[in-house]
Structure 1
């Protein structure tokens, strides 16, 4: 449990209330005025605890803020097609975890906007093939974790393609109109981690998407980096944000 006396929370807020961002070195210097011999590991644990308590908010690696980033919550529109697909899946596979969304949502953040979109259906690894064949039997244009060749030769020529991929365990999702779908944190990580499926969102567009999202929406960076870790891309995404994105407080 965080001790207000040990952590000097009131003094911490007073000291950094006017600063947009606080570096780890700033926090170390702050605590050294109370204990000249405080160890870096002790400060790291205090920072960890303060983040968990919602007193500090992680902006990027080694950078924190006393206030959460501005912006509104990201709540994408669930159309009838997504809702219908979600209902069909859960009627046939009532106990599996899913995440359903449309790549059309990415156009909100892009300059050069694609005219073809995919419905992304993420399911648990163990049932990917079962879901694939179930949808195939229903006459759906469905593709199971397609390669670049399949994407370029077949998916792009489909009218309503559904792409099935593996849902990472403990992925940050949200439920909207009874449909489990993307959070903005998951969306950002996914388009970085899957450059084949999201080829249209790479390069300058990737930077534009990240910048627009951070400018417009509230992003829980702690949640985002935790998910990035589960996809083994935390360091890469951290470096990308630090070098390419200007975080607005």
Structure 2
């Protein structure tokens, strides 16, 4: 195996926590254009055997020293993401489910929500489009509406504005929020994250224990949402325990 391939691999992951198999192959072809598909597959296998790269899920890789948050994406999320991408291929968005936070909590919430975040210019169109195929779809509900209706509903779909430069990643061909984004959002959206508010310290501590957290990325996003000071205090409290 060429000596410089390991250095190349580290460069590929410099700005990305995870890369799909197709992304890795694309980068390798740029640096090693003479390699055949079989050669690339052989080297990917060897890199996995040496623990240079690891699978966090099928067809998705990370570096050996990264513990990346890679939640399961169910068929409903895949259907929603496929529909958004098909109808609006150039917009920024991400999809996820609040049940992803259950692994970080002591007490398991009875309710869960599917969350779709879409750039502001397209959020109305996506809301109308998805309302044809799914029930209980709500666009940017306010606190009163959330408390009266959504909080008692089974698996409502909530569509929100996606803030610029939100940390996201592609997982199984679906754009999802990074854990860093979700942690910051919990400090802001007390309606959506009402079930988590009493366990914020525990959730942050669990997240740091289980996964590699990119604090600089998280702080940049928190700064854009005017929560950098609050995030800093939360990190200090959690890490001091």
Asked if Structure 1 and Structure 2 have the same fold, meaning a TM-score greater than 0.5 normalized by the shorter chain, the answer is yes
Distance 1:95 1:116, change over 3 A: same
Say whether residues 1:197 and 2:197 are aligned partners: no
Match of 2:208 in 1: 214
User: Equivalences for 1:1-249 in 2 at 5 Å?
Assistant: 72-203=67-198, 205-242=199-236, 244-246=237-239
5+ residue gaps, structure 2, are 1-64
Give the deviation of 1:157 after TM superposition: 3.5
State the Cα distance separating 1:222 from its structure 2 match: 0.6
Match of 1:33 in 2: none
Deviation at 1:198, TM superposition (A): 0.7
Cα distance in 1, alignment partners of residues 240 and 71 from structure 2: 22
Q: Deviations over 1:109-155 (max 9, x none)?
A: 11111121100100001111111111122243111111122112221
Q: Is the 8 A contact 1:71 1:215 kept in 2?
A: no
The structure 1 segments of at least 4 consecutive aligned residues displaced by more than 2 Å after TM superposition are 137-140, 156-160
Q: TM-score, normalised by structure 1?
A: 0.67
Q: CA deviation at 1:195?
A: 1.2
For this pair of structures, how many residues does the alignment match? 177
Distance in 2, Cα, partners of 1:232 & 1:217? 25
What 5-or-longer segments of structure 1 have no aligned partner?
A: 1-69
Partner SS, residue 109 of structure 2: coil
Q: Which has the larger radius of gyration?
A: 1
| Superposed CA offset, 1:139-184 (max 9, x none) | 4311111112211222134333110111111111010011000211
Q: Larger relative CO (CA 8 A, sep 6+): 1 or 2? A: 1
CA displacement at 1:229 relative to structure 2: 0.7
The worse-fitting range, judged by mean Cα deviation, of 89-98 and 221-230 is: 89-98
Q: Distance in 1 between matches of 2:147 and 2:78?
A: 27
Pairwise CA RMSD = 1.6
